[in-house]
Structure 1
């Protein structure tokens, strides 16, 4: 999946507006966000809630640039994800799976690159991060936690954001709602910076909040007992034999 995503990302980046170096970096960012969205689909409603908010945010940025060709499809994607939440909300009856989550992440990330192309590398990177702050935080949390635990990055483990929030005692629906609200905060900052209503320095507040979240949760232990309980739980269809979603 990563190799195919990398090829697709390399073909969709507008190098004429970004330049060669920034274009390569943009392609790498698309791959990273796409993979991170796949990892987000590990709890009922989580990927759908975050994806809905993020897609609407990118659509708003595109609409501000009069890019109807991007704004309309992103709005449709956001509406589709919101409608899918009716089936993916706890207790879920269906899951996005790898196909749905990879598609969502790729479309959102590539559309965001198109919207910000040619508007400055530094400022563009800040807006892109703010729009996907929760997704990026989950990816960094997983990578950092597995490195500290000497766990292979490619081997699944219940150490994503949703898993850790559940260990703190949050209800399954709260695991989707709270990251969705956090994603909304980052998206509002990203849209405001993109449209010039806020200075680029506001992105640092989003980065600081994401860093605090990662540092607060990275040391939360992932015990064998919890892992066994996660595998044997029948609360969510996302972890049943009929409809299994990998831990990441």
Structure 2
């Protein structure tokens, strides 16, 4: 399979089609108005960038299916169908700002599509159980929750020009490398198509952006990341389960902290705020472009770490992941991801150090 050609086709389609989608968004008045309370941009910006990403991906997929040696699969086709439902749901939300429950219904329907075509976790391999633990219907429930949860995760980091699209491209790049190492050609092919679609979109979306991907884009990227990451997890080991979680570390971390932060404030989890990871970097004085590049770098480190985990044993992987989680949490508290006052782990460590000094 010629991966270079597979990458170039969606790049070209995305570069060509994005300006037309941009004009369409202005014509339909599907735009994002400046809002100092929760948004960073200072001028009216068109939405619907997700439509350009989806079209470039789906057209490239169909072209490859008809004119190359690649053969489509039921799971690949389910991404096209489920992705279309997600893009339509997100586009409607961009246009008329539908209620969260209505948006969730669209996501749940889309999540059922790959499950219907056979995507689900079947067996969990445990260290001391030779044949693994068959999970049956429980595996379907886990699959469903994973897809719906991850569909929303990318949406949380879609707050700066080029941030969500760049982080997603890096994540798809990591999935591409993992797929080559594990010999999953379907995953490799689909990942590189999505990388191409995003690389063609980024020139219009990177700071200063000329179009936003909107919910149609962020939800679609979260959805495809969720489905593709599960392609290697039909038989789960502890290490294999860690790989996609680490690859998707940035959106998962930001989602997790946003849920805790809003719970502490006593507001609904779905309510927006201006305390996400990228907002905190801006608060520390970093520029828009520098903040995006820093988060790119963090995402790249996470992705490299995920690949390395494949070559380590279970105990070492769990130990290193534990250390990384502690360091990440300390960093999150340092930049005030919850609030400038709520820093439980930092306070605990200071108290522990003082107690140790007194004993000396």
Same fold per TM (> 0.5)?
A: yes
Instruction: Go from structure 1 to structure 2 and tell me whether the alpha carbon gap of 1:184 and 1:83 turns closer, same or farther (over 3 Å shift).
Output: same
2:3 matches 1:3: no
Q: Secondary structure at the match of 1:55?
A: helix
* Number of matched pairs: 219
Contact 1:130 1:206 in 2 (8 A): no
Consecutive unaligned residues in structure 1, runs of 5 or more: 222-248
Q: Counterparts of 1:214 and 1:22 in 2: how far apart (Å)?
A: 32
Deviation at 1:162, TM superposition (A): 1.3
Alignment of 1:85-100 (within 5 A): 85-100=202-217
- For 1:54, the equivalent position in structure 2 comes to 171
Contact 2:121 2:233 in 1 (8 A): no
Output the aligned Cα RMSD: 2.0
2:218 matches 1:218: no
Contact 2:120 2:143 in 1 (8 A): no
Deviation at 1:92, TM superposition (A): 0.7
Instruction: Go from structure 1 to structure 2 and tell me whether the alpha carbon gap of 1:8 and 1:210 turns closer, same or farther (over 3 Å shift).
Output: farther
Q: Counterparts of 2:300 and 2:326 in 1: how far apart (Å)?
A: 16
- Which structure ranks higher in relative contact order (CA pairs < 8 Å, sequence separation ≥ 6)? 1
- For 2:252, the equivalent position in structure 1 comes to 136
Q: Counterparts of 1:16 and 1:126 in 2: how far apart (Å)?
A: 14
Contact 2:178 2:307 in 1 (8 A): yes
Contact 1:61 1:115 in 2 (8 A): no
Instruction: Go from structure 1 to structure 2 and tell me whether the alpha carbon gap of 1:6 and 1:83 turns closer, same or farther (over 3 Å shift).
Output: same
Contact 2:121 2:142 in 1 (8 A): no
Q: Secondary structure at the match of 2:228?
A: helix
Contact 2:232 2:240 in 1 (8 A): no
Consecutive unaligned residues in structure 2, runs of 5 or more: 1-102, 124-134, 341-360
Give TM-score, length-normalised by structure 2: 0.57
Contact 1:133 1:206 in 2 (8 A): no
Q: Counterparts of 2:236 and 2:172 in 1: how far apart (Å)?
A: 20
- For 2:287, the equivalent position in structure 1 comes to 171
- For 1:40, the equivalent position in structure 2 comes to 157
Q: Secondary structure at the match of 1:119?
A: strand
Deviation at 1:131, TM superposition (A): 0.8
Deviation at 1:88, TM superposition (A): 1.2
Instruction: Go from structure 1 to structure 2 and tell me whether the alpha carbon gap of 1:16 and 1:214 turns closer, same or farther (over 3 Å shift).
Output: closer
- For 2:266, the equivalent position in structure 1 comes to 150
> Which runs of 4 or more aligned residues in structure 1 lie more than 4 Å from their structure 2 counterparts after TM superposition?
none
Question: What are the superposed Cα offsets for residues 171-202 of structure 1, whole Å, 9 maximum, x if unpaired?
Answer: 001121111111111111112223x2575233
Contact 2:277 2:337 in 1 (8 A): no
